[in-house]
Amino acid sequence: MTADEWNELYPVGTPVTAYPGFRPEDDPKCTRLVTRTRTRASVLGGHTDVVWVDGHGACIALTHVDPTPQEARRG
């Protein structure tokens, strides 16, 4: 998903699960952050679509960020 596509679907503050290192399918012991976006998505260095999230000091590639399903947010 591109930064523009992400921004169309998900506003700042969207609940997400973010994986700053590896995704769980690549490393079952990966770091998993249950958080919210704190910026709009953008393109880093002209090639990587990223977003910043609460509780993490660096941007995270959109390939490592999963929006939390709306049903889970209601619970």
- pLDDT tens figures, 29-59: 999 999 999 999 999 999 999 999 999 999 9
Domain layout of the chain by residue ranges: 3-74
H helix intervals, the chain: 3-9, 70-74
Q: Which CATH architecture has domain 3-74?
A: Roll (2.30)
In the predicted model, is pLDDT for residue 75 greater than 90? Answer: no
Answer whether residue 74 shows pLDDT above 80: no
Percent of the chain exceeding pLDDT 70 equals 92
3-state class (DSSP) for residue 64: helix
pTM summary value:
0.87
Q: What is the DSSP letter of 30?
A: -
